Structure 1
Amino acid sequence: MQIRHYYIAIILIITISSCNTTNITTNADLPNKYVNAFIGTDEHGHTYPGAQLPFGMVQLSPDNGQSGWNWVSGYHYSDSIIVGFSHTHLSGAGIGDLQDISLMPTIADFDINTIYKQRDDKPYAAYYTHNDEVAEPGYYSVNFKETGIKAELTATPRTGFHKYSFSKGSNRNIVLDLGYAVNWDASTETEIEYIDAHTVIGKRYSTGWAKDQRVYFCAKFSEPIQDVISTGNINIAKNKKATGKAINTLFKFKQDINEILVKVSISSVSKEGAIANLQTENQTWDFNTARTQAANIWTESLSNITVEGEDIDKKTVFYTALYRSKLAPTLASDVDSQYRGGDIKVHKADGRNHYSGLSLWDVFRAQNPLLTITNPDVAVDIANTMLAHYDETGILPVWVLAGNETNTMTGYHSVSMLAEVIMKNLPGIDTERAFQAMKATMMQDQRGLKELREHNYIPYNLMDESVTISLELAYNDYGVAMVANKLGYTDDYKYFLNRSMAYQHLFDGRVGFMRGKDSNGNWRENFDPKHSAHRVGTDYTEGNAWQHSWFVLHDIQGLVNQFENEDAFEKQLTLLFNESSEITGEDASPDITGMIGQYAHGNEPSHHIAYMYNYIGQAWKTQELVHQIMREQYPNSPDGISGNEDMGQMSAWYVLSGLGFYPVNPTDGNFIIGTPLFAKSCINLQGNKQFVISTENHSDENFYIQSASLNGKELNRSYISYEEIMNGGELHFVMGNKPNKEWASEINSRPPSVSNLNN
């Protein structure tokens, strides 16, 4: 769904939910009902429960006020204090930032200049219990019983809408904390300007993970401000403006009112942009109307996949995962299409939306492939966002936050994502321009590319995480090769395809693992495949040899060929899931979570591995493992994500696997078949087409595929293509409680690899 087209009617939602299902046909059973926004807020899921629209610029959510890894999203289920509701949050990232423009209602009266060393000492910090919270798509509320204040939140794409109801005390106050900062973030320059008794505007500049973040805002109150004091005892109603590194402001309202509404819009461009965003998007003061509009938008967005079944927990986890797959990336362009780009200058995104929060190392694996099915227009806008970043900076992005290149994580997966949408023939992308950007990025000397060219791998004595970076850049090179071939650039195709074979230089057949090798070609000594070090002094990114030796997405057959034979490959793959889960090393990565043997589902490098049995004709083993992972790793509970949500990737894995397939190699457009979670699922595609996944004899015990058909014709291969999905039709499975070891076992029924295609 395009953000700019956000007013919809519920009747359209019911119409598109017409996949011959009996479960999603009435308002009472629409998909919003099954979203549990608290999944992932406990342990290290790093999610937030607040109000947001699909891919919305505003993520209006409560903040506990704590620093620490558990509080990266601002909120952790273990906490019981809220200090504010801010307008920007990260959905399951591993680093903390944002949480800009924080508001908090209070009945307390206090000196705005007081500095509180502990968050619990803040007079406006409020206790709550989870019994007093409600979180739904587009809505959040919490009842602070001690102060008698109920806070309710909803959102439009660029505006947060607050409703504060008071029932105790005599004061009616709201705190605006522009200096609020936790974890990596710190404000550098803030400003608030009084426009009239209902309106203030301002800005917050900060540094942190995003080194130069700029947020402008416009806040409009339903009730007239009676008194307003900012840091330094500045009465901005008289002085009009207050500036400083971390300005706080206390707004006071009439004591006899019981309800105050606040609308806050934001912009990365200017205060004028924030004003225009508010004026364009949020013209009603009826909070319930705005809440209903937000719910309707989510209903439309979540209804593009419908599932059939009686298991409420499964449906809840599935629709919550689908919901989380649509929170990021986040809109970065204003209603007039202006945005702040990678050069920190203002640009215009004519005819498209510009996005931020591009967690490319994570989302290239499943979230972006899912968007090419559910939201292809968004996938195209993301591609053009990356190309705009190239135009602004001369290089494709790695991990963009608030327009800033953070250079976080390994590889150049913007290259792979561009290759994916080009190979899938999505319209709206200048393919020639994209190819030149991909090629230029992969031919520069940064981030291991110089070392890769010189040695055909990255030596461990020249760079940390050398094995992971070599393998990931090889996959990125494969993407350039595929696009070069599509465009007829034969020399480039051969050159980059050859570079994509870099994995062959790091595989040690004597031990069956990818290993670090120095610049003289010598293996790293004292090899321990279970050893992990977090980011420094290691050959592997957030993992070990067990987890990273399988990253040859484009040429799994070529990886098989590195072993003595197919049986040896299968033995090593099976051992991965049956080894002890011990991780050695004094500084092991905290991201190694969700363990099944040495398989770590809580981090992305493992996400494709269970599907690799299909490449050796043992699809039934993939079915066993995928069924186990879906059953064990995704409970319907606050700790229901076994690692960082990572901007939608953990959830996208579940959505696609629940449908019955997964994109091991997103660039080639094939989806590798696993096992369907539901008796029947339906993808409602653009152009009034549907792709149905149906089953016979489906149950929790009958997860083995006995036979399959596609559009009524026998299907004896363990993959389907993106084109087959998007053309619409029906993929039908006959299920059983014992494996059919013959199904999709023949060589010509296995998913393609570069080595297969070149033979």
Structure 2
Amino acid sequence: MQKITICLITGILFSACSNLTNERKGALDYVDPTIGGVGLILEPTRPLVHLPNSMVRIYPLKKDELDDRIGGFPLTVISHRIGSAFAFLPVFGDDDPWQSTILIHTQEAHPYSYEVSDARTYDRVAVAPGAKSGVFQMERADGSTTHRLRFSIINASGFIKAQGDSALVGEEDYNGMKVFFYASFDGTLQDIEEQGPENRKNVLATVNATGSKLDLRYGISYISIEQAKANLEQEIAQKDFTAVKAEAEQAWDKVLSKVQVRGWDEAKKRVFYTALYRTYERMVDINEHGQYYSAYDHQVHQSDEPFYVDNWIWDTYIASHPLNMILDPEKDQAMIRSYIEMYRQTGWMPSFAVTFGDWPAMVGNHASAWMADAWAKGLRDFDVKAAYEGLRKNSLEATLLPWRNGPPSELDDFYNEHGYFPALAPGQPETVDRVDPNWEKRQAVSVTLENSFSDWCIAQLAEPAGKGEEKELFLKRAQFYHHVFRQDKGIVWPKDANGNWIEPYDPSLSGREYFTEVNAYTYNWHVKHDLEGLFQLMGGKAVAEAKLDELFRADLGLPKWKFWAVQPDASGLVGQFVMGNEPSLHIPYLYNYLGSPWKTQKRIRMLLDTWFTDNVFGMPGDEDGGAMSAWVVFSMMGFFQMTTGVPVYTIGSPSFEEVAVQLPNGKEFKVIAKGNSPQHVYVQRAALNGKELEELFFTHEQLMEGGVLELEMGDKPLRISI
């Protein structure tokens, strides 16, 4: 009996200690950068090491998280998933140093550092970031003081060379710009070898250290080698690896701790905080301590203002920027000002404002949604007249062709006159030279739908910009979506230049000739600026709700591998619903506008539980540098913004019992979900600051004033609209 009592007491104490340990875990402790590290069809996530929204970004070069070999580390990512500069690798073992890799024995990944040991030698390398700099630390397991360091040119041309006996410098050409580095080590250069063609020689440096550890500090610049050295000296010159890592850890703890969650499921916390970490990958500030190189005019500018680049606006306008506007609105306005500065430098408002210039990816003019949303939320520290001018010019004086910049084509002239992008019948050859005939094609229906929304957003900025007389023009263009909705079929449909509906046509299997990355089942719901108008075209709310139900249930009609041959970006499938691509992110919340919010609650919880898990398979599609993750953050907190430009949030089904958001004005916004559990996914009652909500909506202004959104959760749906 005494033995049993002691065991019970021990068990109780252990449980109490375990609970105390969990309570003491900070937000940063839950981040696992390897989540999503194996792509489901598409690209995996990367365990990226960087400071929030900062220029230098580093990760291990390997296929995915199942790959046990590392071929190197880029000294920096230039633009997300597009390009990097300079590969670095410490050479462990006696293999051919030019072909050597690290065979992973152990790895430890954090936002602020990455560490790996080699399975053959047990040598170790770790990296920690500064803003425009970084530090690698190598350690020899056998106590040797000799280190071999390989530096490689990644891009078309460049050089790497020694500078004295304790530094290396380099320059790379990348997409019309240059990238520079300066690296110093606390050892002595003993030997240097070269390999490769004259215009891109790789370097193997042998360095003697004072002990088994060697720190390699480096700076990156888009201006010059001298500036790279200055960036190094200003940020980390007097700091060892441990100090740089500690400062990076503090920086991450500060931003991630803005949101505190409490709940029953530790795995969900890992998913949530990893998603929040990923939202800080982009945009990045490339101002190098008072000056920056702009690839938009190829000039070096003196400025104390941040200059943010690397934005895939087709993805990020939906959730990433709205999340920024809650957690750090000053930073998001600085990003908008960067876009406007790019417009001033080039004469065009950029689309994908990447580091090497405007990349005309995808379709639409979605900087308009971002800027209209900021203005609607009272975030107005930017030149709205210049913003409107640039957005207007993009809409009326530039081509709307997918993946193209430049003046209007004959298809744009047709669009402006007739209100839709004309499509080609199956098998009909492309007649417009500027259209990619092989892969991207016309995307005719998506171009019409996306630009209808973009023009609605421009209309919201007309009066603030002093161009109120033009508002009606853009509101009229916002209705162009009617021209590609076939009412007798109840779905979006391509139309030819003669005004005839294209036949034959399969809404499921029609690819980029008509749509952007997903099919008609998804784009049927893309009229975010006129939901009532869309529902009426469908035949009323009851019919629209039935169609929405069918979206999640419709069969593909053929094996998935055949479907993906046509629709490779349609991943994370639930029926025809595509969780793994951004055009779908608002769709589960549409039930709140159709009088059946319980279906939103059911779908949101199912989608989060199914597709966003805390393992290497926990990302259903391309994560897109924070775009998909921002939706996860919003949805797990329990609300989402349906339409950027309309500062209203609609309520879903939170993943936690309590969420506390620390607002930049010093106030706090809480979501308390009483009785929440894996089974209790349905909202029974909702109140904001003690006042009952008649509908599951609240405004951005109410959120930023702070307060408490209180939800009572139950296991049975409330089949009436609250």
Tell me the TM-score normalised to structure 2 length. Answer: 0.89
Q: CA deviation at 1:727?
A: 1.3
Closer/same/farther in 2, CA of residues 653 and 23 from structure 1, 3 Å limit: farther
1:445 correspondence with 2:406 = no
Report the more deviating stretch, 520-529 or 394-403: 394-403
- Indicate which of 159, 162, 165 corresponds to 1:194: 162
Partner of 1:145: 119
Partner of 1:674: 652
Partner of 2:676: 698
Partner of 1:227: 191
1:564 correspondence with 2:564 = no
What amino acid does structure 2 have at the position aligned with 1:140? Answer: Y
What amino acid does structure 2 have at the position aligned with 1:149? Answer: D
Contact 1:284 1:290 in 2 (8 A): no
| Cα distance in 1 for residues equivalent to 2:547 and 2:251 | 47
Q: CA deviation at 1:26?
A: 9.5
What pairs up with 1:326-341 in 2 under 5 angstroms?
326-341=280-295
- Indicate which of 244, 252, 267 corresponds to 1:290: 244
1:266 correspondence with 2:240 = no
What pairs up with 1:667-746 in 2 under 5 angstroms?
667-744=645-722
What amino acid does structure 2 have at the position aligned with 1:145? Answer: A
What pairs up with 1:571-582 in 2 under 5 angstroms?
571-582=546-557
| Cα distance in 2 for residues equivalent to 1:176 and 1:107 | 10
Partner of 2:32: 36
Q: CA deviation at 1:427?
A: 4.0
Unmatched segments (≥5 aa) in structure 1: 1-21, 65-70, 113-121, 181-186, 233-242, 745-759
Sequence identity (%): 29
Partner of 1:368: 321
What pairs up with 1:73-152 in 2 under 5 angstroms?
76-89=64-77, 96-107=81-92, 122-129=98-105, 132-152=106-126
Q: CA deviation at 1:734?
A: 1.3
Partner of 2:205: 251
Closer/same/farther in 2, CA of residues 610 and 90 from structure 1, 3 Å limit: farther
Contact 1:103 1:176 in 2 (8 A): yes
- Indicate which of 423, 434, 454 corresponds to 1:476: 454
| Cα distance in 2 for residues equivalent to 1:720 and 1:452 | 37
Q: Equivalent residue of 1:342, what SS?
A: coil
| Cα distance in 2 for residues equivalent to 1:515 and 1:674 | 31
Unmatched segments (≥5 aa) in structure 2: 1-17, 402-411, 425-431, 433-440
Closer/same/farther in 2, CA of residues 629 and 524 from structure 1, 3 Å limit: same
Q: Equivalent residue of 2:617, what SS?
A: coil
| Cα distance in 1 for residues equivalent to 2:606 and 2:33 | 24
Contact 2:36 2:618 in 1 (8 A): yes
Q: CA deviation at 1:110?
A: 8.2
Q: CA deviation at 1:108?
A: 5.3
1:406 correspondence with 2:406 = no
What amino acid does structure 2 have at the position aligned with 1:365? Answer: I
1:48 correspondence with 2:38 = no
What amino acid does structure 2 have at the position aligned with 1:282? Answer: I
- Indicate which of 135, 142, 146 corresponds to 1:172: 146
Q: Deviations over 1:335-394 (max 9, x none)?
A: 12323231333234x342112211111011111111111121221121111111111211
What amino acid does structure 2 have at the position aligned with 1:674? Answer: G
| Cα distance in 2 for residues equivalent to 1:304 and 1:142 | 30
Q: Equivalent residue of 2:388, what SS?
A: helix
Q: Equivalent residue of 2:625, what SS?
A: helix
Contact 2:589 2:642 in 1 (8 A): yes
Closer/same/farther in 2, CA of residues 600 and 110 from structure 1, 3 Å limit: closer
Q: Deviations over 1:705-726 (max 9, x none)?
A: 1111111111112221111111
What amino acid does structure 2 have at the position aligned with 1:369? Answer: P
Q: CA deviation at 1:109?
A: 6.8
Q: Equivalent residue of 1:307, what SS?
A: strand
1:421 correspondence with 2:374 = yes
1:664 correspondence with 2:642 = yes
CA RMSD of aligned residues (A): 2.3
Q: CA deviation at 1:191?
A: 2.3
Partner of 1:590: 568
What amino acid does structure 1 have at the position aligned with 2:104? Answer: Y
Tell me the TM-score normalised to structure 1 length. Answer: 0.85
| Cα distance in 2 for residues equivalent to 1:333 and 1:23 | 44
Contact 2:122 2:141 in 1 (8 A): yes
Closer/same/farther in 2, CA of residues 103 and 572 from structure 1, 3 Å limit: same
- Indicate which of 582, 588, 591 corresponds to 1:613: 591
Q: CA deviation at 1:612?
A: 0.7
Contact 2:27 2:256 in 1 (8 A): yes
Q: CA deviation at 1:229?
A: 2.6
Q: CA deviation at 1:402?
A: 1.8
Closer/same/farther in 2, CA of residues 704 and 110 from structure 1, 3 Å limit: closer
- Indicate which of 129, 137, 144 corresponds to 1:163: 137
Q: Equivalent residue of 1:383, what SS?
A: helix
Contact 1:106 1:149 in 2 (8 A): no
Q: Equivalent residue of 1:647, what SS?
A: coil
Contact 1:333 1:354 in 2 (8 A): yes
| Cα distance in 2 for residues equivalent to 1:487 and 1:257 | 63
Q: CA deviation at 1:244?
A: 4.0
| Cα distance in 2 for residues equivalent to 1:660 and 1:352 | 35
Q: Deviations over 1:437-459 (max 9, x none)?
A: 22122111312444421220111
What amino acid does structure 2 have at the position aligned with 1:51? Answer: V
What amino acid does structure 1 have at the position aligned with 2:117? Answer: N
| Cα distance in 1 for residues equivalent to 2:550 and 2:596 | 15
Partner of 1:552: 527
Q: Equivalent residue of 1:225, what SS?
A: strand
Q: Deviations over 1:627-662 (max 9, x none)?
A: 111111101101100000011011111100111111
Partner of 2:330: 377
Contact 1:24 1:31 in 2 (8 A): no
Q: Equivalent residue of 2:138, what SS?
A: strand
Contact 1:215 1:266 in 2 (8 A): yes
Q: CA deviation at 1:25?
A: 11
Contact 2:57 2:75 in 1 (8 A): yes
What amino acid does structure 1 have at the position aligned with 2:423? Answer: Y
Q: Equivalent residue of 1:216, what SS?
A: strand
Report the more deviating stretch, 222-231 or 314-323: 222-231
Q: Deviations over 1:705-758 (max 9, x none)?
A: 1111111111112221111111111111111111222233xxxxxxxxxxxxxx
Q: CA deviation at 1:465?
A: 0.4
| Cα distance in 2 for residues equivalent to 1:255 and 1:738 | 67
Q: Equivalent residue of 1:358, what SS?
A: coil
What amino acid does structure 1 have at the position aligned with 2:244? Answer: A
Closer/same/farther in 2, CA of residues 425 and 255 from structure 1, 3 Å limit: closer
Q: Equivalent residue of 2:338, what SS?
A: helix
- Indicate which of 396, 408, 428 corresponds to 2:349: 396
Contact 1:671 1:719 in 2 (8 A): yes
Q: Equivalent residue of 1:215, what SS?
A: strand
Q: Deviations over 1:661-705 (max 9, x none)?
A: 111101111112111111110110012111111122221111111
| Cα distance in 2 for residues equivalent to 1:372 and 1:586 | 36
Contact 1:108 1:123 in 2 (8 A): no
